[in-house]
Amino acid sequence: MVTIKSITCRSLALSLLLAAAGTQAQDLPKSMMWTSYDVGSAGYADASAIADAFGKEYGTRVRIRPSSSPIGRLQLLVSGQAEYGFLATESFFSSEGTYDFADRHWGPQNLRTLGGRPTTTGLVTAADAGIHSLDDVRGKRVAYVVGNPSLNVKCDALLAFGQLSREDVDIRMFPTYSAAMSSLAQNQADAACTTPTTSQLYELAESPRGIHWVDIPVDDKDGWERVKQVAPFFKSYPETIGAGLSEEQPVNMLAWRYPVLVTMADRGADEVYNFIKALDNTYGLYSKATSSMSRWSLDGAGTPPIDVPFHEGAIRYLKEKGIWTDEAQAWNDARLARLEALRGAWEQALAEADGKSDEEFAAIWERHRTEAVAAL
What pLDDT, in 10s, does the model give residues 105-158?
Answer: 999 999 999 999 999 999 999 999 999 999 999 999 999 998 888 889 999 999
Q: Where are the beta strands (DSSP E) in 79-190?
A: 84-87, 111-126, 141-145, 170-174
Per-residue pLDDT, 231:
86
Please name the amino acid found at residue 307: D
Cβ-contact 102, 274 below 8 angstroms: no
- DSSP-derived letter for residue 89 is T
Per-residue pLDDT, 40:
76
Q: What CATH topology corresponds to 29-119+257-374?
A: D-Maltodextrin-Binding Protein; domain 2 (3.40.190)
Of the pLDDT bands very low, low, confident and very high (cuts 50, 70, 90), residue 280 is very high
Assess whether pLDDT exceeds 90 at residue 263: yes
Per-residue pLDDT, 197:
84
Question: What percent of the chain has pLDDT above 90?
Answer: 82
Cβ-contact 352, 364 below 8 angstroms: yes
Cβ-contact 38, 80 below 8 angstroms: no
162 CB-contact burial (10 Å; exposed 0-12 / middle 13-18 / buried 19+): buried
Q: For 242-257, what is the mean pLDDT?
A: 93
Per-residue pLDDT, 129:
97
For residues 146 and 132, give the distance between their C-alpha atoms in angstroms, rounded to a whole number.
27
pTM given for the model: 0.82
Per-residue pLDDT, 70:
87
Average model confidence (pLDDT) across the chain: 91
Assess whether pLDDT exceeds 80 at residue 7: no
Integer-rounded Cα Rg, in Å, for the chain is 23
First to last CA, the chain: 76
Q: What is the dihedral of CA 287, 293, 297, 299, to 10 degrees?
A: 160
Of 39, 96, 20, which Cα lies nearest the Cα of 341? 96
Cβ-contact 128, 209 below 8 angstroms: yes
For residues 95 and 307, give the distance between their C-alpha atoms in angstroms, rounded to a whole number.
8
Give the chain's largest Cα–Cα span.
Answer: 92
Give the side-chain half-sphere CA count within 13 A for 6.
3
- DSSP-derived letter for residue 328 is H
Of the pLDDT bands very low, low, confident and very high (cuts 50, 70, 90), residue 26 is low
Q: Cis before residue 259, ω within 30 degrees of 0?
A: yes
Q: Can you say whether residue 59 is alpha, beta or left, with left for phi > 0 and alpha for psi between -120 and 50 degrees?
A: left
Of 246, 48, 215, which Cα lies nearest the Cα of 131? 215
Decide which of 172 and 232 is more confident: 172
Q: Over the stretch 46-94, which tens digit does the pLDDT of each residue have? A: 999 999 999 999 999 999 999 888 899 999 999 999 999 999 899 999 9
Q: Over the stretch 304-330, which tens digit does the pLDDT of each residue have? A: 999 999 999 999 999 999 999 999 999
Question: What percent of the chain has pLDDT above 70?
Answer: 93
Q: Over the stretch 343-354, which tens digit does the pLDDT of each residue have? A: 999 999 999 999
Per-residue pLDDT, 5:
46
Where do the CATH 3.40.190.10 domains begin and end in the chain? 29-119+257-374, 120-255
Per-residue pLDDT, 286:
98
- DSSP-derived letter for residue 79 is T
Q: Can you say whether residue 242 is alpha, beta or left, with left for phi > 0 and alpha for psi between -120 and 50 degrees?
A: left
Per-residue pLDDT, 2:
47
CATH of domain 120-255: 3.40.190.10
Assess whether pLDDT exceeds 60 at residue 4: no
Decide which of 10 and 85 is more confident: 85
